[in-house]
Amino acid sequence: MTQGMLQKMYTVIDQPVQYHLSLGEQHIPLNGFLGRMIKLTHSGRIECIHCHKVIKKTYSQGYCYPCFTSLAQCDLCILKPHTCHYANGSCREPSWGEQFCFQSHYVYLANSSDLKVGITRATQIPTRWIDQGASQALPIFKTSSRQIAGFIEEAISQHVSDKTNWQKLLKNHASAIDLPLKRDELIIASQPALEDIFKRFGKQSIDYLQHEKTVEISFPVTEYPSKIKSLCLIKTPEISGVLQGIKGQYLILDSGVINIRKYTGYEVSFDT
């Protein structure tokens, strides 16, 4: 048995993706447990992932309420980057914003439950795509800041979703998509809004990645569920079942599915 504070699963791009369950400083390779019975047990202890205070519930995947309301990394502009208010002087943590937001970001297309548009830091490729359970991904723009990427994402999202249907994702209903073709169609459809963004920030701040190739990602899944039953460590502190697959940040068991990232900061033991 291994015990520690649960973090989002650590991944390594491979065919298929290699997953590790992270419990504090311990990382348990999970792919080898496919087809075997595993058990996760929540001790009842929860810690904020930032200040490590013992708490009763988490906000925004692992934070206590004071951290959630004070940290820049929990602000609404992280979810909606085009609403960045750094220039207004109202960033919760300007030094953090300078480090996190003013670095290279990519706008991409991905095929997870369906075609979607998203953004990510350069340092999070391909981790971001894996965490979203994308079977295909294609970078289409590189920008000098998170906000610029957010404006481009917002423009393109008028013509394609920027959300993932997690239930459809876990049923593996997404068919292969010609992402370069979709990129070209979406850029034409978004042209007026994109031109406004280029004029506002200057083309030196935005690179159009016309020659990028689609990244194909496969996940370690032996069987997809026909019906989705969501498992909850709060209602059921002990969850067990045969591991049938791992996709995104979900464990697929014969007893149901569990979103590991949702329980970041929970003290959990892993056993077989």
Instruction: Using CA atoms of 77, 82, 83, 86 in order, give the dihedral in degrees to the nearest 10.
Output: 80
pLDDT of residue 7: 97
Q: Mean pLDDT per segment of 10 residues, for the chain of length 272 residues?
A: 96 97 96 98 98 96 97 95 94 95 97 95 97 97 98 97 92 90 98 97 95 97 95 96 98 98 97 94
pLDDT at 261: 96
User: Whole-angstrom Cα distance, residue 30 to residue 246?
Assistant: 9
Q: Would you state the pLDDT for residue 122?
A: 94
Give the pLDDT of residue 99.
Answer: 95
Alpha-carbon span 233 to 81, nearest angstrom: 31
**Could you tell me where the beta strands, DSSP code E, fall in the chain?**
2-5, 10-12, 18-23, 26-29, 37-46, 105-111, 115-121, 136-143, 206-208, 215-216, 238-247, 250-253, 256-259, 266-271
DSSP 8-state assignment for residue 176: P
- Name the nearest CA neighbour of 248 among 11, 3, 4, 67: 11
pLDDT at position 179, please?
A: 98
pLDDT at residue 173, as a whole number: 74
d(CA 249, CA 252): 10
pTM here is 0.94
